[in-house]
A and B are shown apart, each in its own frame.
Chain A
Amino acid sequence: GAVVSQHPSRVICKSGTSVKIECRSLDFQATTMFWYRQFPKQSLMLMATSNEGSKATYEQGVEKDKFLINHASLTLSTLTVTSAHPEDSSFYICSARAAGYGDTEAFFGQGTRLTVV
């Protein structure tokens, strides 16, 4: 199957700082990438959908100025959590949909555990 690499896997940052999370599709072109967050014992919550070369579409209730998404190429999308606060501590997961897979299966990155102290 296709491989999606997400980095870093864990990050601890101070309150008020920004953190960037990268999501790369290693062996395919990802026309669409999705960013999720997941709180303990809860399901994935879609934050935003990004298409290469265009602005991300954010889900209701997600602050686009706080969670900056850039999808500059067909293999890379980044999520930047700006001015992070302890309540932003969560598990962030990206997934990528590959062109040529019939717009079906999404491949997941390994996830990033963010802890804001």
Chain B
Amino acid sequence: GQNIDQPTEMTATEGAIVQINCTYQTSGFNGLFWYQQHAGEAPTFLSYNVLDGLEEKGRFSSFLSRSKGYSYLLLKELQMKDSASYLCAAMDSNYQLIWGAGTKLIIKP
């Protein structure tokens, strides 16, 4: 079956760095997405990886290892506004997104 695993909740300190991991199992693979979702709002796109390696975009970076079925989202210089849920989603061979349950990130001052 198809499955996405990510931690349910993480806590970090303002100004610090946090890494949110995601492992996936899909029928075929057409990329790995990370979305940010604040409570009561729709998800917003953060990153897309389809090749192995690290993609850096400002304070956020995303890493993919296709052989390991593994990705992580790295958030640097954490700000209070980064408190949100972070959703990992893998696209299968039919271009359907398989969603993780999301990681709730709590930022403490």
Residues of A within 8 A of B (CB): 1, 6, 34, 41-46, 49, 91, 93, 97, 103-111, 113
Contacts and interface: CB of A to CB of B under 8 A. Distances in A.
Contact of B42 (A34, A45, A93): A93
B41 A44 contact: no
Contact of A105 (B33, B40, B87, B99): B33
Contacts of A49: 96
B33 A103 contact: no
B10 to A, nearest CB: 15
A6 to B, nearest CB: 8
A109 B45 contact: no
Contact of A104 (B31, B41, B43, B87): B31
Nearest to A6: B42
Contacts of B101: 42-43
Nearest to B102: A43
Nearest to B104: A41
Contact of A106 (B30, B50, B97, B102): B97
18 contacts: A1-B45, A41-B104, A43-B99, A43-B100, A44-B87, A45-B99, A46-B96, A91-B40, A93-B43, A103-B30, A104-B48, A104-B50, A105-B33, A108-B43, A108-B45, A110-B41, A111-B41, A111-B42
